[in-house]
């Protein structure tokens, strides 16, 4: 009896020691995340039920949500962000996959040089590369001149002045910055694949494109899913590039304004509408959550 009792107390003591240490190690992180991540996300939700400018806020119920549907700038920002997402993410991921499989070629010379070069854009700050692109894509700039010289275009393109081309420029810029980033993930995954699988497929007469579609892509599915979700979150938060390409305006004529830029403008450029801006931020939260869920769902369905 006595023996069992002391044994129990010792186990309890150990368990407590274990628990106390467990909490101590994670305490600073939990405190910071609670205060600067969890609390603000609920605070945003709360704010979204209020309207008014500056500190003069009054309860508005779902008034802000009704206001969204009649706000042309919001609708424009939502459309633009969606276009960037739908067009840019697939282009980038396919491009990154292709580059990764090219780099994974056996006995490729200068593989390290190619890899470093293609990865280099990841080092550039979003602000710095946006400014570089702005100077390269000016109306008489180097890109227009090169395109004219090769004969692809007959007259200079207004990359920064025409709504359609401004969108194209944003897409080109993001693709430049992030393709190498995604490629590195695919390359690492490809290098873990057993080469004999490819060899067997090749001997069985499976053509190269079919090996890519039916072998490479299915085997990389978890990584593709991961990068797609990362890119989705990134695209819906698009801010730095658009702000620095268009002097913070999202122009021409709101052609490149994104949800994040609109929130910034509503909050920090004009007399702040905290409540309405918070409502728009929740549009981003919902879209990211729904799209991530869909991507998980699609990936699971096929496996």
Q: Least CB distance from residue 31 to another protein, whole Å?
A: 9
Nearest to 139 by CA among 162, 119, 123, 116: 162
Of 4 and 203, CB closest to another protein: 203
Do the beta carbons of residue 186 and residue 97 sit within 8 Å? yes
**CB of residue 163 vs another protein: minimum separation in angstroms?**
20
**For another protein, which is the closer residue by CB, 2 or 28?**
28
Which residues does 221 contact at the CB level (< 8 Å), separation at least 6? 299, 302, 303
- Angle (CA) 280-281-286 rounded to 5° is 95
Long-range contacts of 268-274 (CB under 8 A, 24+ apart): 271/53, 271/54, 272/53, 272/54, 273/51, 273/52, 273/53, 274/47, 274/50, 274/57
Q: Phi and psi of 270, rounded to 5°?
A: -100, -175
To the nearest whole angstrom, how small is the minimum distance from the Cβ of residue 302 to another protein?
A: 19
**Alpha carbon distance 106, 197 (integer Å):** 14
- Based on CB atoms, which residue is closest to another protein, 3 or 13? 13
* Closest CB 1 distance from another protein, rounded Å: 30
Measured from the CB atom, the residue of 4 and 149 that comes closer to another protein is 149
> Residue 6 CB, nearest distance to another protein (Å)?
21
Smallest Cα–Cα separation from 139: which of 153, 121, 118?
153
Q: Smallest distance from the beta carbon of 2 to another protein, in angstroms?
A: 27
H or E segment and range at residue 50: strand 50-51
Helix (H, G, I), strand (E, B) or coil at 49: coil
Closer residue to another protein in complex, CB, 3/122? 122
* CB nearer another protein, residue 90 or residue 247: 247
CB of 9 to another protein, least distance (A): 20
Q: Nearer to another protein by C-beta: 1 or 292? A: 292
Residue of 131, 82, 120 lying closest to 238 (CA atoms) = 82
């Amino acid at each position: 009896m006595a023996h069992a009792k002391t044994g129990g107390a010792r186990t309890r003591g150990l368990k407590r020691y274990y628990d106390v240490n467990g909490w101590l190690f994670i305490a600073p992180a939990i405190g910071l995340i609670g205060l600067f991540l969890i609390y603000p996300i609920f605070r945003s939700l709360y704010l979204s039920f209020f309207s008014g400018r500056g500190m003069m806020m009054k309860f508005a119920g779902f008034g802000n949500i009704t206001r969204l549907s009649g706000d042309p700038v919001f609708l424009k920002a939502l459309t633009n962000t969606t276009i960037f997402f739908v067009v840019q993410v697939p282009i980038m991921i396919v491009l990154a996959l292709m580059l990764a499989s090219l780099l994974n070629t056996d006995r490729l010379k200068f593989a390290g040089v190619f890899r470093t070069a293609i990865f280099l854009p990841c080092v550039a700050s979003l602000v710095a590369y946006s400014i570089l692109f702005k100077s390269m894509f000016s109306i008489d700039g180097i890109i227009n001149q090169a395109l004219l010289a090769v004969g692809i275009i007959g007259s200079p393109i207004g990359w920064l002045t025409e709504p359609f081309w401004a969108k194209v420029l944003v897409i080109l810029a993001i693709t430049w910055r992030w393709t190498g980033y995604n490629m590195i993930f695919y390359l690492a995954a490809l290098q873990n694949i057993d080469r004999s699988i490819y060899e067997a497929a090749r001997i069985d007469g499976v053509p190269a494109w079919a090996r890519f579609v039916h072998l490479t892509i299915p085997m990389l599915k978890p990584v593709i899913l991961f990068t797609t979700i990362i890119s989705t979150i990134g695209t819906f938060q698009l801010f730095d590039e658009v702000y620095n390409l268009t002097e913070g305006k999202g122009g021409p004529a709101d052609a490149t304004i994104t949800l994040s830029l609109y929130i910034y403008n509503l909050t920090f450029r004009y007399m702040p509408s905290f409540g309405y801006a918070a409502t728009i931020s929740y549009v981003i939260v919902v879209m990211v959550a729904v799209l991530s869920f869909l991507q998980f769902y699609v990936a699971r369905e096929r496996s």
